Each structure stands twice: as C-alpha cells, then as structure tokens.
Amino acid sequence: MSLRLAASAGAVQTLVSMALSFLSIKITSVYLGPAGIGALGQLAYFIALTQAVLAAGLHTGLVRRIAALREDHNTRDRVVSTVLLVLLAIGIPSALAIAVASSWLAAKILYDGWLDAPFLVLAAAFVFGLLAMVVTACANGAKDFWSLAWINIGTGVSSLVLLTLLCPRFGLMGGLFATAILPIFTAAIGVAIARRHDWWPRRPFANGFSAAEARGVVAFVPMAMVTAIGLPLLQLLIRDSVVAHSGMNAVGLLQGVMRISDMYLGVASGIFSMYFFARFSEIREPAELVYEAGRGFLVIVPAVAVASVVIYVLRDWIVRLVFTSDFLPMRDLFGWQTFGNTLKMVGWLFGYVLLAKANALLMAVLEGATFVVWWLLSLHFIERDGVVGATEAYAATYALYALVTFAGVVLVVARMRMRAKAAA
C-alpha cells in the first residue's frame, strides 16, 4: 500500500475525528468545566495505561507477523487465536483486580473515593478493549487502512453520542461512565468491520494456542511495556504535580491544549503507525532507508510545523470557539506545546526507523530514559512556572529525543552500509 493511500485514510479519519472531538470538547467544557475535563483525562490515561501494559507489545508483534504472513491464512488465523487466548488469560484477572480496587483507584486517580462506579463499569468493559486492539492490529498488518479509519471514526462517533446523552443529565459521573464503557463500542464496531474481510478469522478462537507463535509476537513487549507504563503514568504524575502547584482547573487547561494537539497531529501519527513502521521494517538497502526517511521528513514535519504556527496564531479564537470563557488562560500554554509538537514529529520519524531496525532492548532503554528526563524536567519547570512548565518540559524532552534518535539513525545506516560492503 502506498504512502498516498495511508495519508488519504489518515486524513479522512483525522478530519472527521477533529469535528467529533470539537463537539465532544464543547459538550464536556460546557457541562463539566476545566476540573471535569481534567478528571476525564485522568480516567482516559488510566485506561490507556492498563490496556497498553497488557496488549501494546502484542499489538506491535501482531502487526509485524500479520504483515509477514500475507496470504498464509491458516498460520495467520492461528496467530490471532493465540494472541486472543493470551489476552483473555491476563485480561480477565486484570478486570477483576480493577473491580476489587475500584474505590482505591477512584481516590488515587480521580481524587474522590466516591467515584468508584466508573471503575466497576470499566472492569466489565476491560476485555472488550483488548479485543479491539487485536482487531486493529490485524487491520494494520494487512494494510487495510480504510478499515482502521472506519473503526476509529466509529469509536469517535460512539464517544460523542455517549457524552451527549450522559453529560447533560448526570454531569461528571455521566462523562466518566461514557469514557469507561467506550471499549465495548470500539470492540463491537471493530468486529463488525473485521468480519467483512479475510484478514480476520471466521472463528477467532477456533485455531487454538501455539507456543511458537506466542514467542514470535512478544519481541517488542519490553519496549512496549516501558512505553505503555511510562507514558500514561508520566502523564498522571505530571497532572499530580500540576494539581499540587496550581489546582485541578490547571489540569483541565493542560488537558484541553493536549486534546487540540491530538486533533491536528492525528494525520501524522496515523501515517507513522499505518505506513512507515511496516515500510521501514521491509527495507534492506541503506540508500532506500535514507530516501524513505527523508521523504517522511520533508512531507510530514513541515506540514506539522505549519499547522502548529497556524494553531498558535489563532489560539485565542480557537479557545473561544472550542471551549468556554473559563478556558481563556489556556492561551498561555500554546507556545511551548505547539513547538514541542513539531519536535515530537521529528523524533517520531527517526524513532520509527530505530523501532524497525535497532535492537528492541536498546529501544526500551531509550524510551525509559526519555520518560525519566521528561519527569525530571517537568518537576523543575512546573515548580518554577506552574502549568506552563508542563509544556516547557514537553518541548525540551522532544528536542533531546529528536537529537538522540537522529544519532541512532546515523549509526543504523552506517551499520547497514558496512554489512552491504561485507556481503559484496
């Protein structure tokens, strides 16, 4: 599949998602306010943390394995069955643990032990979220970009409908319930779409368990677990630091500017995950790798930079349009956040090259070191500048990440050239 096809599917998905996100942000900002949006962000990051800890590494390994098998339907179906059985074995006990610890989790994550009911709902929906991750991995590995786009669009529509129905009537609790139950809708939409394509088994659990296939899809588990645990946990810790310094309203402002960032970075991140990872993985010639990385750099990074400048210039208008007057102090966060977004795209591009070509253990070390540096910088800047410091730390971290990953790519290309000369 071509970069143009991936970009087209990603663009459509992002444009629709931006419209849906705009509506959902407007609804939650009106009915929940900054503190309520901050609480929804906390719960969303917890969901991302728990599900990604269990499935992120398997997701990456499954994408690579499905892409490699191509038309070998029997082996592919056995891989899917194996991954589903593994996730059930670890997902059901995890869901029970969330239910048992619901009051404690509410106190620690939402700062109110009485908000435990959404965690009970999440426990019931938890395994469905893992199923949805398997479906999207299969679509990604099969390079079915449009199915991926429709699953994500369907999830966005479901989220908007749930928020629209529940927030006006139940306030914060309604928003939390909408967030907690969303994995069920994602799984239902994903399976409904997957059943129409040959990359999804007719009977997903019918091919049993293969120890060899299980070992084959866990190669990226160490790095994925570092990222899965580190990033959501880091975001929770940063929010705790902001709460301690500036209060829950400041967390809502930070969450708001991050949601705007997520909206316009969607096309770039979609292209990275849908196209470049598989493309970098299949390249064997150093010159071809340099060309493909350069193409991504010349296409994606300038586009994100221009979008960042536009967002920054129009930040006052955007805040008034998307949010309410309570969010006007958010304007002070856009400068470093948008600058950091551009640096992030540079780092991601080089990082995907390393993910495809470098040692998985070294990548896990790099990711872990990045989160430690980010956290230390956040402590310093938030203590000095309040919530603005969180965006300053974000930009500084990705500036360092871009430099380190660029150096890593230079080493990878040099190693590939040495091997090519030795083989000649």
The reported pLDDT for the residue numbered 7 is 63
Residue 117, pLDDT score: 93
DSSP-derived secondary structure for 222-263? HHHHHHHHHHHHHHHHHHHHHHHHH-HHHHHHHHHHHHHHHH
CA trace torsion 49, 53, 59, 60 (10° rounding): 100
**Rounded CA separation 162/183 (Å):** 12
| 292-348 residue pLDDT tens | 899 888 888 898 999 999 999 998 888 888 777 778 888 899 999 999 999 999 999
- Cα angle 164, 166, 169; round to 5: 105
**Rounded to an integer, what distance in angstroms lies between the CA atom of residue 20 and that of residue 23?**
5
| φ/ψ (deg, to 5) at 246 | -130, -5
Count of CB atoms situated within 10 Å of the CB of 326: 17
Cα(219)–Cα(228) distance, integer angstroms: 15
| 34 in Cβ contact with 327 (< 8 Å) | yes
Cβ–Cβ under 8 Å, residues 99 and 232: no
Q: What is the pLDDT of residues 42-76, one digit of tens each?
A: 888 788 878 877 777 778 778 777 876 767 788 88
pLDDT tens per residue across span 80-136: 999 999 889 989 999 999 999 999 999 988 888 888 999 999 999 999 999 999 999
- SS3 letters across 325-365: HHHHHHHHHHHHHHHHHHHHHHHHHHHHHHHHHCCHHHHHH
In the block, tokens 């083989």 appear at 423
Sorted by where each begins, the domain ranges of the chain are 1-218, 220-424
